[in-house]
Amino acid sequence: MQTSSTLEVPPPRDVPRHVAIIMDGNGRWARKRRLPRFAGHKRGVDALRVTVKACIERGIRYLTMFAFSYENWRRPEDEVALLMQLFTAALTNEVNRLHRNGVQLRVIGDLSRFDVRIRNLVAEAEARTAGNSRLTLTIAANYGGRWDLMQAVSRLLKEQPQLAGSEITEPQLTPYLSMSYAPEPDLFIRTGGEQRISNFLLWQLAYAEFYFTQALWPDFDGAALDVAIASYRDRERRFGRTSEQVEEEKARLEKALEHAGKAARARANA
Ligand code: IPE
Ligand code: IPE
Ligand code: MG
């Protein structure tokens, strides 16, 4: 089971272990060029490919991308249909490359609303890449943070009906959340200038660092990711503690590392 940022303080990390991104701004990218919105979504897939590679190179272990929200069904029918086509094409054309690069693919969200072709492609891709561990790429499709919490509570009570009426604890609930296999995101990025969470990972972002950029998603790349990571590094992640406590912990860790280094050198010289 993964640790919880609200039950214990996670160790400090220079490189975020888990990055979660809302890829926003495809439509505006296309409009700026007088292209149909679809062209923006298509370029969005290219930016996703570039970002996966950049994350692997930087040693990020989990990347979670918001591709289609529960609320996106409200869009015009033809745009929804085109997005489904793109999703199908990506599942058909990209999985080989992901697999070759050691990427494990996961899809979270209410898949029951997708047609069976997409559901089968998802199942195949997940099964095929299940053994990979370099990067876990999660695509959130027909995902909503509230949906996730509701399905988790429903499943918990269905499987453990004896808990109804009692006080439910975090460790009892979290295995039922759709991302129970991943640690909580350290860094949350939203492109496109909007500063909102749009019903993305409500539970899991409890202590994530938030980074917003005006860059439109099709323009996002490794350099843009580096700017986000630099901003993340500048933050003091206190998890409820004071600055002084954070500093003390840092000094303690450095001392322990120094000690370990000395001991290793002594052993090597012996
Ligand atoms: C994000 O880009 C992609 C999806 C929601 C699928 P948008 O399509 O929301 O782009 P804007 O916000 O209209 O520019
Ligand atoms: C959020 O983008 C969902 C995805 C990126 C898939 P939207 O562009 O749909 O978000 P809102 O509606 O502007 O908040
Ligand atoms: Mg948008």
How does pLDDT run across 6-25, given as a tens digit for each residue? 999 998 899 999 999 999 99
Task: Kindly list the protein residues whose Cβ atom lies closer than 6 A to any atom of ligand 2.
Answer: 22-24, 66-69, 72, 194, 196, 198
Residue 186 resides in a domain: yes
199 and 223 in a single domain? The answer is yes
Distance 23 CA to ligand 1 centre (A): 7
179 and 156 part of one domain: yes
**Cα separations in angstroms, 257 against 37, 154, 234, 269:** 52, 45, 22, 18
2 is a domain residue: no
pLDDT value of residue 270: 81
Within-domain flag for 8: no
148 in contact with ligand 1, CB cutoff 6 A: no
Q: How far is the C-alpha of 88 from the C-alpha of 125, rounded, in Å?
A: 11
User: What is the total count of domains within the chain?
Assistant: 2
Q: Which residue ranges of the chain lie beneath pLDDT 50?
A: 1
Identify the nearest ligand to the CA of 70 by its number: 2
Q: Name the closest-CA residue to atom 7, ligand 2.
A: 24
Torsional sign, CA 135, 141, 143, 148: negative
* Per-residue model confidence (pLDDT) at position 253: 92
Task: From the CA of 67, give the closest atom in ligand 2.
Answer: 6
Tell me, rounded to whole angstroms, the distance of Cα 199 from its chain centroid: 14
Encode pLDDT of 203-251 as tens digits. 999 999 999 999 999 999 999 999 999 999 999 999 999 999 999 999 9
Q: Are strands 62-69 and 18-22 parallel, antiparallel or unpaired?
A: parallel
- Note whether 92 and 136 are same-domain residues: yes
- Helix 37-57 vs helix 222-233: angle between axes, to the nearest 10 degrees? 60
Same-domain status, 132 and 258: no
Residues 265, 192 share a domain: no
30's CB contacts (< 8 A; 6+ apart) are 36, 37, 38, 39, 40, 41, 43
For ligand 1, say whether the CB of 25 is within 6 Å of any of its atoms: yes
Nearest Cα neighbor of 2 from 53, 62, 64 is 62
The Cα 178–Cα 201 span in angstroms is: 10
As annotated, the active-site residues are: 24, 72
- Answer whether 28 contacts ligand 1 (Cβ < 6 A): yes
Residue 114 to residue 102: CA distance in whole angstroms: 27
Integer Cα distance of 52 and 220 in angstroms: 11
Domain of residue 232, residue span: 18-237
> Ligand 2 centre from 57 Cα, in Å?
28
Question: Which of 46, 51, 47, 43 is CA-nearest to residue 27?
Answer: 43
Element holding 135 (H helix, E strand): strand 135-143
Closest CA to 105 of 71, 78, 139, 70: 139
pLDDT for the residue 3: 86
Strand order through the sheet with 187-190: 103-108, 135-143, 62-69, 18-22, 187-190, 209-212
The pLDDT, as a whole number, for residue 85 is 97
- Nearest ligand 2 atom to the CA of 24 is 5
Query: Domain containing 57 — which CATH number?
Result: 3.40.1180.10
Atom 3 of ligand 2: nearest residue by CA position: 69
